[in-house]
Structure 1
Amino acid sequence: MINRVIIVLILVPLAVILIALSVANRETVSLTIDPFNPGNPALSYSAPLFVWLFAALILGLILGSFATWYNQGKHRKLARQRKLEAELLRKEARKASAETAATPNLPSLH
Structure 2
Amino acid sequence: MIRFLKGLILLPIAVVVVLLAVANRQPILLSLDPFSEGAPAFSVTLPLYALVFGAVAVGIVVGGIGAWLAQGETRRDRRRKTRELRRLQVETDRLRSDAAPAGRPGNPGRSSAPALPAPAARA
Shift of 1:10: 2.0
1:2 aligned partner: 2
Shift of 1:77: 0.6
Equivalent residues of 1:28, 1:47 under 8 A apart: yes
Equivalent residues of 1:38, 1:44 under 8 A apart: no
- Please give the alpha-carbon distance, in whole angstroms, between the structure 2 residues aligned to 1:102 and 1:39: 90
1:84 aligned partner: 83
Q: Which has the higher contact order (CA 8 A, sep 6+)?
A: 1
Identity of aligned residues (%): 34
Structure 1: runs of 5+ lacking an equivalent: none
1:17 aligned partner: 16
Shift of 1:55: 0.3
Equivalent residues of 1:34, 1:40 under 8 A apart: no
Residue 69 (structure 2) pairs with residue 70 (structure 1): yes
* CA displacement 1:1-20 (0-9 Å, x = unmatched): 522431x2122111101001
Segments of 4+ in structure 1 off by > 4 A? none
Structure 2: runs of 5+ lacking an equivalent: 104-110, 114-123
Tell me which protein shows more helix as a share of its residues.
Answer: 1
Computed over aligned residues only, the root mean square deviation of the Cα atoms, in angstroms, reads 1.7
How many pairs were matched up?
A: 106
- Using the size of structure 1 for normalisation, the TM-score is 0.87
